[in-house]
Amino acid sequence: MLNAAYNILLMLIEPTLSTLYMVAGATVFSLILGFPLGILLCVTSAGNLIPQILFNKILEKITNILRSFPFIILMIIVFPLSRFIVGTSIGTAAAIVPLSIAAMPFVARIIKSALKEVNPEIIQAAKVMGSSNRQIIFKVMLPEAYPALIAGITLTIINIIGYAAMAGSMGGGGLGDLAIRYGYQRFRLDVMIGAVLVIIIMVEFVQFLGDKMVHTIMKRRGLEIK
Amino acid sequence: MITLRNISKNYEGVQAVDDISLKIHPNTVHGIMGRSGAGKSTLVRLMSLLECPDNGEVFFNDCRVDNLKGKALRERRRQLGMVFQNFNLFLSRNVFSNVAYPLEIAGVDKRSIQNRVYELLDLVELSSKIEYPINRLSGGQKQRIAIARALAHHPKILFCDEATSALDPQTTLTILQLIKDIQNRMNLTVVMITHQMEVVKEICAFVSIIDNGKVIKNESVQNLFSFPHTGTAHELISPLRYSDVILKKQRLHLVGNTTEDILSRLAKIYHTNVNIVTGSIRSVNNKSVSNFIIELTISEGTLNTIIADLRSQKISIEVLHA
Ligand SMILES: Nc1ncnc2c1ncn2[C@@H]1O[C@H](COP(=O)(O)OP(=O)(O)O)[C@@H](O)[C@H]1O
Ligand SMILES: [Mg+2]
């Protein structure tokens, strides 16, 4: 019994590391791509910092289309791109490409809506003090929106963990792959349960960390929550 | 100091400012009064270079400023300060770094920022709150911090858009006092936008009454109150409750379940000294009944609030005319 559990634990180590690698990579790249896009979506909207109505409409459309793309299909479409960037279209590193692309519009929307919630009057106050647009974005809007941004990024990472499991089953390796290969194909329910448990722990941990950070910021700002 | 020449601003068909010409003299407090929606905020946004007029020109001294762009515009804005109804402080920054912000973005070095912030907090008497988050301050304290922040660059002009409208009468008075003080000490030109006659009467030397985007009256406050008026000017002036800003000594007789606790609470909530003239606490049927005569220096508005407050606690209260 103990031996069996130990064996499952051993089997879980490598896929867990692959999943962490995929999630971390996709988080970093989706943030790098999605953050500027989210800022652009916000500041170019009507009545905001640099209104560019047509440009904003087009950008909105593109993000929406990207966001509504089924992930599986997106993966297949970006196979050539993954091959071009990573050198192969299978494996953990290759899976980071579609994961990042899938999460990017999600990140963009979250950043956008967090920034849109910043009180326009505060932005006006910053403006009258002689701030440049760049200073308003980086010294006012982003810091003011910090709690909402952290909450949004937490949600993004949790989503990526889910997608990573799916990507795993399509040749990306990791926990999703393990669950499918053992649980589904070899009827090893125990292995599948182990894989699912690890995924749940990951999600819970990320959520806990995110909540903790938001709580800390709120407290520093003199706001107690719950 | 500020000259407006035939300025207009239209928002999708709404003529918010309609061909206004106005001179604001240096080193004065100039009130801009009018009903809600009259165009006061729009006018102040045009003066504070937050927006460009559709037509007309804005001059600071003899320098045209309404057509500035980019760096020149930002530098010009640094020569004016503005405070708002809802304070508009940065919640992501504490007291110190709120006041430091305008200096920070102008590239002032750390040492000078620190010195200036200390100076400013001293001026508004909030040095003790330097590390506080904004949410831990009262409305009046927030406005003081906002004033300190607005003064960071030694501006020559201070715009106040309904700066006291979110505050109770008592706090309003202290903020007006502070503005008056600063104006005197720093030779500031202050433009006070308000819909409250009391504010105009309290600190303005000149006043322009705005209605429907037009200036309908422009004169010294002294004249405004000396002659009868018609139309909007009359409407704005007649409901004047001068009593709301005048502090008077009031003597109150309280009977009921009052303990000293309630008196100290009054002092705390209404920021006033409570003098006990006479007082006794007696035990009747195992209940203590107190009988106090106290003296407070408060405005009529605050007096009425206190009366309502105490009556809601089943304390009988009588105003004694001293
Ligand atoms: N940014 C804006 N967009 C559209 N309409 C506006 C805007 N700002 C002001 N207005 C309109 O202009 C008029 C004057 O508004 P405002 O200057 O805010 O008045 P006040 O400050 O005297 O209450 C109002 O009818 C208001 O609806
Ligand atoms: Mg207004």
E strands, chain B, are: 2-11, 14-24, 29-33, 55-60, 63-64, 80-84, 157-161, 189-194, 206-211, 214-220, 248-256, 275-284, 287-298, 316-320
Q: How confident is the model at residue A95 (pLDDT cuts 50, 70, 90)?
A: confident
Q: B88 vs A125: CB contact, 8 Å cut-off?
A: yes
Domain carrying residue B276: 247-320
For the stretch A5-58, pLDDT in tens is: 888 888 888 889 999 999 999 999 999 999 999 999 999 999 899 999 999 999
Residue of chain B whose Cα is closest to the Cα of A127: B50
Instruction: Label residue B285 exposed, middle or buried (CB < 10 Å: 0-12, 13-18, 19+).
Output: exposed
**Are B252 and B234 in a shared domain?**
no
Domain end among B209, B238, B267: B238
Average pLDDT along chain B: 87
Q: Whose CA is nearest to atom 20 of ligand 1?
A: B37
Residue with token string 């997106």? A74
Contact B101 A130 (CB under 8 A): no
Is residue B137 within a helix (H) or strand (E), and if so which, with residue range? none
Please indicate, yes or no, whether residues B265 and B196 belong to a single structural domain of this protein.
no
User: Between B78, B86, B132, which is nearest A129 by CB?
Assistant: B78
What does the pLDDT look like over B251-283, one tens digit per residue? 888 888 766 677 777 776 666 678 888 877 777
Range of the domain at A80: 2-220
Please spell the DSSP secondary structure of B5-64, one letter per residue: EEEEEEETTEEEEEEEEEEE-TTSEEEEE--TTSSHHHHHHHHTTSS--SEEEEEETTEE
- Predicted confidence band at B231 (pLDDT cuts at 50, 70, 90)? low
Report whether pLDDT(B322) > 60: no
Cβ distance B77 to A130 less than 8 Å, yes or no, reads yes
Is residue A45 included in any domain, yes or no?
A: yes
Regarding whether B273 and B162 lie in a shared domain, the answer is no
Same domain, B58 and B86: yes
pLDDT exceeds cutoff 60 at B104: yes
Q: How distant is the alpha carbon of residue B151 from its chain centre? A: 15
Q: Which atom of ligand 1 is nearest to the CA of B36?
A: 23
Tell me the chain A residues in contact with residue B90 when contact means C-beta distances shorter than 8 Å: 122, 126, 140, 143-144
Residue type, A164: A
Interchain pair A144, B90: CB under 8 A: yes
Q: Do B48 and A132 touch (CB under 8 A)?
A: no
CATH number, domain with residue B289: 3.30.70.260
Together in a domain, B156 and B16: yes
Is the confidence at residue B284, as pLDDT, over 80? no
Distance B32 CA to ligand 2 centre (A): 11
Domain assignment present for residue A156? The answer is yes
Task: Tell me which chain B residue has its CA closest to the CA of residue A130.
Answer: B74
Number of domains in chain B: 2
B254 & B179 share domain:
no
Asked if the C-beta of B80 comes within 8 angstroms of chain A's C-beta atoms, the answer is yes
- pLDDT tens for residues B210-228? 988 999 888 888 777 776 6
Are A129 and B101 an interchain contact pair (Cβ–Cβ within 8 Å)? yes
pLDDT above 90 covers a percentage of chain B that reads: 55
Q: Which of A78-87, A139-148, B223-232 has the highest mean pLDDT?
A: A139-148
Determine contact, residues B232/B195, Cβ cutoff 8 Å: no
Higher pLDDT, B289 or B191: B191
Query: Nearest chain B Cα to A119, which residue?
Result: B88
Residue-wise pLDDT for B148-191, tens only, equals 999 999 999 999 999 998 898 889 999 999 999 999 999 999 99
Q: Is the pLDDT of residue B241 over 50?
A: no
- Report the percentage of chain B scoring pLDDT > 70: 90
Query: Do B138 and B210 sit in the same domain of this protein?
Result: yes
ipTM of the complex: 0.89
Of B206, B238, B270, which residue sits at a domain end? B238
Span B277-299, mean pLDDT? 78
The DSSP annotation for B57-74 comes to: EEEETTEE-TT--HHHHH
- Cβ–Cβ below 8 Å for B74 and A140: no
Residues B203 and B277 occupy one common structural domain: no
Question: From the alpha carbon of B161, which atom of ligand 1 is closest?
Answer: 21
- What is the CATH number for B198? 3.40.50.300
- Mean pLDDT across A62-90: 83
Tell me what pLDDT residue B260 has. Answer: 62
CB neighbours of residue B268 within 10 Å: 10
State yes or no: pLDDT of B244 exceeds 60. no
Give exposure, A56-81, as e/b (b: 16+ Cβ within 10 Å): beebbeebeebeeeebeeebeebbee
Position A166 in a domain: yes
Strand order in the sheet with B2-11: B14-24, B2-11, B55-60, B63-64
Nearest CA in chain B to A125: B88
Q: What is the CATH number of the domain that holds A203?
A: 1.10.3720.10
Q: Do A139 and B104 touch (CB under 8 A)?
A: yes
> What is the arithmetic mean of pLDDT over B120-139?
95
Same domain for B93 and B223, yes or no, is yes
Q: Is A119 at the interface with chain B, CB within 8 A?
A: yes
Tell me how far the alpha carbon of residue B297 lies from the centroid of ligand 2, in angstroms: 32
Contacts of A146 in chain B (CB under 8 A): 92
Are residue B213 and residue B310 in the same domain, yes or no? no
As a whole-number percent, the residues of chain A with pLDDT over 70 amount to 99
Confidence of residue B243 (pLDDT cuts 50, 70, 90): very low
Higher pLDDT, B263 or B94: B94
Whether A225 is in a domain gets the answer no
Pocket of ligand 1 (CB under 6 A): B 11-12, 14, 16, 34, 36-42
pLDDT at A226: 54
Whether the Cβ atoms of residue B49 and residue B59 lie closer than 8 Å to each other: no
Which of B177, B207, B238 delimits the end of a domain? B238
pLDDT of residue B229: 66
- Closest ligand (CA of B86): 2
**B198 — pLDDT class (breaks 50, 70, 90):** confident
Q: How far apart are CA A140 and CA A121, in angstroms?
A: 12
pLDDT higher for B288 or A140?
A140
Two tokens at A2? 């103990």
Q: How confident is the model over A151-184, as pLDDT tens digits? A: 999 999 999 998 888 887 777 788 888 888 887 7
Q: Which of B104, B105, B143, B151 has the most A C-beta neighbours within 10 Å, making it the best mutation to test the interface with A?
A: B105
Q: Phi first, then psi: give them for residue B159, nearest 5 degrees.
A: -100, 135
What integer pLDDT is reported at residue B242 of this predicted model? 43
Both tokens assigned to B241: 């409750």
State the pLDDT at residue B240: 45
Distance, in Å, from the CA atom of A136 to the CA atom of A121, rounded to the nearest integer, reads 12
- Per the CB < 8 A criterion, the answer to whether B162 and B84 are in contact is yes
pLDDT higher than threshold 80 for residue B245: no
Q: What is the mean pLDDT of residues A70-95?
A: 81
Find the mean pLDDT for residues B232-254. 64
B181 and B310 together in one domain: no
Q: How many domains are there within chain A? A: 1
User: In the structure encoding, which two tokens stand for residue A124, read together?
Assistant: 């006006």
**3 state DSSP class of B126:** coil
Predicted local confidence at residue A173, as pLDDT: 82
A129: chain B residues, CB-CB within 8 Å? 77-78, 101-102, 105, 149-150, 152
**Which atom of ligand 1 is least distant from the CA of B44?**
17
Q: Does A5 touch chain B (CB under 8 A)?
A: no
- Whether residue B267 is found in the same domain as residue B153: no
Ligand 1 mean position to B40 CA, how many Å? 8
User: Contact B164/B172 with Cβ under 8 angstroms?
Assistant: yes
